[in-house]
Chain A
Amino acid sequence: FFQLECLKLIASQKFTDKRIGYLGAMLLLDERQDVHLLMTNCIKNDLNHSTQYVQGLALCTLGCMGSSEMCRDLAGEVEKLLKTSNSYLRKKAALCAVHVIRKVPELMEMFLPATKNLLNEKNHGVLHTSVVLLTEMCERSPDMLAHFRKVRQLSSSQLVPQLVRILKNLIMSGYSPEHDVSGISDPFLQVRILRLLRILGRNDDDSSEAMNDILAQVATNTETSKNVGNAILYETVLTIMDIKSESGLRVLAINILGRFLLNNDKNIRYVALTSLLKTVQTDHNAVQRHRSTIVDCLKDLDVSIKRRAMELSFALVNGNNVRGMMKELLYFLDSCEPEFKADCASGIFLAAEKYAPSKRWHIDTIMRVLTTAGSYVRDDAVPNLIQLITNSVEMHAYTVQRLYKAILGDYSQQPLVQVASWCIGEYGDLLVSGQCEEEEPIQVTEDEVLDILESVLISNMSASVTRGYALTAIMKLSTRFTCTVNRIKKVVSIYGSSIDVELQQRAVEYNALFKKYDHMRPALLERMPIMEKITTNGPAEIVQTNGETEPAVLETKPPPSGLQPASQANDLLDLLGGSDITPVIPTVPTSKPVSAGGELLDLLGDLNLTACRSAVFLFSAGIPSITAYNKNGLKIDFTFERSNTNPSVTVITIQASNSTELDMTDFVFQAAVPKTFQLQLLSPSSSVIPAFNSGTITQVIKVLNPQKQQLRMRIKLTYNHKGSAMQDLAEVNNFPPQSWQ
């Protein structure tokens, strides 16, 4: 309803009505409405109206909300108006052209000839808008940019000198009442010209050279006492930074920014900090000079300024000033708003990592961050920190002592508690024996240590991840502590029935470790080796047993039911494979190998890598399958697939079937391969082969054959049949060539 009213008003002859109509259209309609199509005609008529004000109105509306169709239709009119002598119209037409170009970039060429004369105007309004038009054209199209930079055919002057001339006139001319704003003539125009110069001069030596003088002039002559002058200077500085200016000019620019920083006006300081942030990459040394001022800005009340100052400070930290800067930044971390704390903490970690003068300082700094802003620290900081601690071997005693003291008082900050529990678990013996050199050693008994870990476990404030850390730490201490093993056993068994699944699982495993595999406990819970930082996660599909070349006779038991998270598998994978660091190591593998004579404790193989099974995607490449064994009613077929991701891996799926009248139970398949191969056996589908070929057991074997040798395999089968245990050895030689070539 309203739209029609608008139209009616626009179409009327009276100026005031038109006025209201256009206003309404501009305010409330947008190009998505259909009615504007109807408006097109009206606008067209009005553009040719005799009264300039009507024309101006039409231009205005078109400029604001014209859709691309409207623009296409009316571009011709606009262009005509661009050439008129009426300056009122020209300036509006210029901005309208800007809008047209934005909507329909192809029409840019149409406006090109008109722009030639635009800069010869005296009228500042026209000048201003034409500069805007030129800016828009240059931004949109690199061709235009090149065109404007070169010498133009007819007119004698290039664009840049023209602009420079205009700018010079503006600065040099005396007081001009028309355009004056607080003593500076037409600052808006100056700013615009500067911006256009910036675009023209970017990456272009010639243009930049032409501009150097004028920029220096503007920079030195402009009065800085008022905001206006500062606005111009700001724009000048930005321009100097962007074009290929000579170094003297750049230093001048940075000095201006430095002066801004000392100014009392917040706006100016903000602007200065922003620009310094942009330039710090390129002109690092010059910005360093203003470091102390920047650091002072950290204490400012204003949030935007503080944020800028913080970012800039991080950019300025280097080997020389790191101690001083860190002090300031840590102080800032204490007192700043929560929204900054996470960023600040990460920044401090990064800077400390790069420039730490000594390990002890590094650890101290990190501890300070953890204690002050512990809950805001990002999650990945914990593994990084742990890796750092492991690597600084000589600091272990000192670190663990400090961490212990820290959580004695307060164990609510999760990252701190996690790191502390981990360290206590690893280095608890150092703590108890009081060996610290750097600091006054404290006397701690084993019971006290266990007390604190237990309270972490019990506390409501601890997240379940933290509890996991604590439990693992307690477990590790069982090998390091001598007198309190029973207590540890008790704690572990309590958590065997915890509600938290993760915790329960760990407790159950640790219990198992105590009961059945006590002999292996020390080996498993040994100290962590120094970890290398590898950032990418190795592929989970192919598992390479590091450095194992003996024939690995692997036997796998069926996986225990229920809780077997893939993460556990990955943890051990990581330990031996050296990929991503997770500090939840070492955990006990869930199935134990029954030694079949001298095999290595292949932890990797033991992990029924159920995760791997699902992760592997196999391509059947049409390799013929073979019957590997066929005796006494037991038939084993091999089907082959080559892995898509690794051409030296062959995946063999065996299928065992039973043609006798009785089931075969406790079926176990073992395989051995020559030295040049590596073998991996995944868990079978079951251990019973039903009679009468009514079902099969499937199992997957992966063979890594990097040297592409002829595949050979020796297999051993054990099973119970008709009440007696049967065992057989066989050799498989009939592998098809496609399976290993």
Chain B
Amino acid sequence: MIKFFLMVNKQGQTRLSRYYEHVEINKRTMLEAEVIKNCLSRSKDQCSFIEYKDFKLVYRQYAALFVVVGINETENEMAVYELIHNFVEVLDKYFSRVIMFNLDRVHIILDEMVLNGCIVETNRNRILAPLSVLDKVAES
């Protein structure tokens, strides 16, 4: 299952974090710092899967943003790699530009896609459907 989901920028600041297994708040920062250090130091040619402590990290870089997902051994690493890509595409479609101003929406999208560490929905339209409803309610 997916243990956590992080979005980090190139300077190492966490933009979004979602934990599917409970981790203490103070430990979270430490964990994030280490994970980020590992990912940022990798060059482009290197493998996207890193072994870290007792789980694996799958990361992918999109321009200035790193998306890092921590998984345990039962998950197919490549499927998770695809999931990251899927997620980014959904974000792209919805936000079209800058994501960072609407963090709660990003959370909603993430929730639609991944529930408690497991993938729920991968169809872009269906993920975005509730969001559009939400938007309409918000406007009215």
A484 in the interface, Cβ–Cβ < 8 Å? Answer: no
Chain A nearest CB from B44 CB (Å) reads 10
CB–CB B50/A271 < 8 A:
no
In the complex where A124-B123, A128-B120 touch, is A301 in contact with B45 (Cβ < 8 A)? yes
CB–CB B119/A181 < 8 A:
no
Chain A nearest CB from B127 CB (Å) reads 9
Most chain A CB inside 10 Å of its own CB: which residue of B50, B107, B108, B122: B122
A446 in the interface, Cβ–Cβ < 8 Å? Answer: no
47-62 of chain B: CB within 8 A of chain A: 47-51
Most chain B CB inside 10 Å of its own CB: which residue of A234, A268, A270: A270
CB–CB A302/B45 < 8 A:
yes
Chain A residue numbers with a CB within 8 Å of B119 are 128, 132, 188, 192
A16 in the interface, Cβ–Cβ < 8 Å? Answer: yes
CB–CB B47/A125 < 8 A:
no
Chain A nearest CB from B43 CB (Å) reads 8
Chain B nearest CB from A280 CB (Å) reads 18
A258 in the interface, Cβ–Cβ < 8 Å? Answer: no
The 8 Å CB contact of A64, one of B46, B104, B115, B134, is: B115
A28 to B23, CA, bound (A): 10
How many interface residues does chain A have, given as a range? 35 or more
Interface bits B113-140 vs A (CB < 8 Å: 1, else 0) = 0011011111101100010011001100
CB–CB A227/B138 < 8 A:
no
The 8 Å CB contact of B122, one of A16, A32, A188, A267, is: A188
The 8 Å CB contact of A227, one of B45, B50, B78, B126, is: B78
Chain B residue numbers with a CB within 8 Å of A27 are 18, 107
The A contact surface, by secondary structure, is helix
Chain B nearest CB from A70 CB (Å) reads 14
- Stretch of A90-98, A114-122, A673-681 on the interface side: A90-98
CB–CB A188/B49 < 8 A:
no
Give chain A's interface residues, CB within 8 Å of chain B. Answer: 15-16, 19-20, 23, 26-28, 30-32, 53, 56, 60, 63-65, 88, 91-92, 95-96, 98-99, 124-125, 128-129, 132, 178-179, 181, 186-188, 191-192, 195, 227-228, 230-231, 234-235, 238, 266-271, 301-305
- A sample of 15 more A-B contacts (CB under 8 A), given A91-B121, A178-B123, A188-B79, is A19-B108, A23-B111, A26-B111, A32-B22, A53-B133, A92-B115, A95-B116, A181-B82, A195-B76, A231-B79, A266-B46, A266-B48, A267-B81, A271-B49, A271-B77
Give chain B's interface residues, CB within 8 Å of chain A. Answer: 18, 20, 22, 25, 45-51, 76-79, 81-83, 86, 104, 107-108, 111, 115-116, 118-123, 125-126, 130, 133-134, 137-138
| 15 A-B residue pairs with CB within 8 Å | A16-B134, A19-B108, A60-B115, A88-B130, A125-B121, A179-B122, A181-B82, A227-B81, A231-B79, A235-B79, A266-B47, A267-B47, A267-B49, A270-B47, A302-B47
